[in-house]
């Protein structure tokens, strides 16, 4: 259900939203910026719901017709843009669904709200078309633009919007959420919360995916036996990684976190802050065998591999080099 109560963190944005409704100072355009999974959608739809609610003075009552209609995607005055293509939002999408529609007065409620998800996919032409509307919007219009990356938007668009940054949440809060709401055991909650870097949507996705936990086990197995492998066996291991090829970035992040844990454990021997807390004994072996220098080199070599893969350097070659370096550092 779309409700401010279901948003974790980002209290400042909710406060701002509540004030705009209470004081009737709603802007015509909001730019809601945040990583994938950070909760932009929940925030935006909760705001749209609250604005149209005729009973509550600052949020939503969840009972009136408007609130119920929003939950079933049937609110006539809250419109989500449906672009023709999935990969981009074109000028025709904006013309047909916004510019030609926005001057028709709201059907039942106070505002007419448009929600553009993935607004960073708007082509420059689409942005210019939207700009015309943003320059002189009708008094009842509210446009919510959701973006991961603000850099793809024209400065002229940004300057006409109120920009709200959706922030990652403290990892402990994410962890607590996973334990209380998803009944995850402590060490799994800790692991998923840390890996998600405080992005709640990612944490929930990881926590509900068996795949991710299997991948984690796969990674631990590989990384702990690496020093005993010869080059031929390393090549074979890379073939064994084939099933994770599309998620190789996540896989490398796991290896990175492993060596950060090893480093941490070597420095402190404390079990408290490590992420792979269920693999303590294996971490300890690496912490004993590896020098500070070689652990740091491993971390650098994995980060380098991630950069290479980002810039589309040959996949197998990059991994071969990375694993060979890690082996050599041991």
Closer residue to Zn ion (CB): 46 or 127:
46
The least distance separating Zn ion from the CB of residue 56, rounded to whole angstroms, comes to 6
The least distance separating Zn ion from the CB of residue 53, rounded to whole angstroms, comes to 3
The least distance separating Zn ion from the CB of residue 110, rounded to whole angstroms, comes to 12
Q: Are 178 and 184 in contact (CB under 8 A)?
A: yes
**What phi and psi values does residue 159 have, to the nearest 5 degrees?**
-70, -15
Q: In the chain, what is the greatest distance between 2 CA atoms, to the nearest angstrom?
A: 71
Closer residue to Zn ion (CB): 61 or 321:
61
Closer residue to Zn ion (CB): 55 or 162:
55
The least distance separating Zn ion from the CB of residue 50, rounded to whole angstroms, comes to 8
How many Å from the N-terminal Cα to the C-terminal Cα in the chain? 51
For 178-204, the DSSP string reads: HHHHH---HHHHHHHHHHTTT-HHHHH
- DSSP secondary structure letter of residue 81: -
Closer residue to Zn ion (CB): 71 or 101:
71
Closer residue to Zn ion (CB): 64 or 321:
64
Give the Cα separation of 102 and 26 in Å (integer).
16
The least distance separating Zn ion from the CB of residue 208, rounded to whole angstroms, comes to 30
The least distance separating Zn ion from the CB of residue 23, rounded to whole angstroms, comes to 19
Give the Cα separation of 122 and 111 in Å (integer).
24
Token pair recorded at residue 313: 């350097």
Q: Which residues make up the interface to Zn ion (CB under 5 A)?
A: 53, 55, 60-61, 64, 67
Closer residue to Zn ion (CB): 59 or 133:
59
CA dihedral 142, 146, 152, 157 (to 10 degrees): 10
The least distance separating Zn ion from the CB of residue 204, rounded to whole angstroms, comes to 26
Identify which of 289, 294, 293, 321 has the alpha carbon closest to the alpha carbon of residue 305: 321
CA distance readout (Å), 308 to 247, 257, 301, 316: 15, 19, 10, 11
The least distance separating Zn ion from the CB of residue 65, rounded to whole angstroms, comes to 8
Give the Cα separation of 181 and 278 in Å (integer).
22
**What phi and psi values does residue 85 have, to the nearest 5 degrees?**
-100, 155
Closer residue to Zn ion (CB): 60 or 203:
60
CA atoms within 13 A on the CB side of 301: 21
Closer residue to Zn ion (CB): 54 or 92:
54
């Amino acid at each position: 259900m779309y409700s401010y109560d279901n948003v974790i963190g980002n209290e400042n944005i909710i406060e701002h939203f509540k004030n705009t409704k209470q004081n009737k100072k709603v802007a015509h355009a909001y730019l809601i910026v945040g990583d994938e999974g950070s909760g932009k959608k929940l925030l935006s739809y909760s705001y749209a719901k609250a604005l149209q609610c005729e009973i509550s003075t600052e949020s939503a009552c969840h009972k009136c017709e408007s609130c119920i209609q929003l939950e079933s995607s049937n609110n006539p005055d809250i419109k989500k843009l449906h672009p023709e293509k999935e990969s981009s939002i074109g000028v025709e999408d904006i013309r047909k669904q916004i510019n030609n529609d926005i001057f028709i007065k709201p059907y039942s409620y106070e505002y007419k709200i448009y929600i553009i998800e993935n607004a960073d996919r708007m082509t420059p032409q689409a942005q210019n078309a939207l700009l015309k509307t943003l320059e002189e919007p009708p008094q009842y219009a509210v446009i919510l633009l959701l973006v991961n990356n603000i850099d793809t938007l024209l400065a002229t668009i940004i300057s006409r919007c109120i920009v709200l940054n959706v922030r990652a949440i403290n990892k402990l809060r994410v962890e607590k959420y996973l334990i209380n709401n998803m009944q995850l055991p402590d060490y799994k909650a800790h692991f998923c919360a840390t890996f998600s870097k405080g992005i709640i949507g990612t944490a929930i996705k990881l926590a509900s995916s068996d795949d991710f936990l299997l991948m984690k086990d796969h990674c631990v197995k590989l990384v702990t036996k690496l020093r005993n492998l010869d080059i031929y066996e390393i090549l074979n291991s890379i073939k064994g990684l084939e099933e994770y090829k599309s998620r190789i970035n996540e896989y490398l992040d796991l290896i990175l976190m492993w060596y950060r844990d090893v480093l941490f454990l070597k420095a402190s021997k404390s079990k408290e802050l490590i992420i792979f807390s269920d693999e303590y004994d294996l971490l300890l072996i690496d912490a004993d065998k590896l020098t500070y220098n070689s652990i740091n080199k491993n971390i650098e070599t994995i980060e380098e591999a991630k950069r290479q893969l980002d810039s589309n350097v040959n996949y197998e070659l990059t991994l071969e080099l990375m694993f060979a370096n890690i082996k050599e550092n041991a």
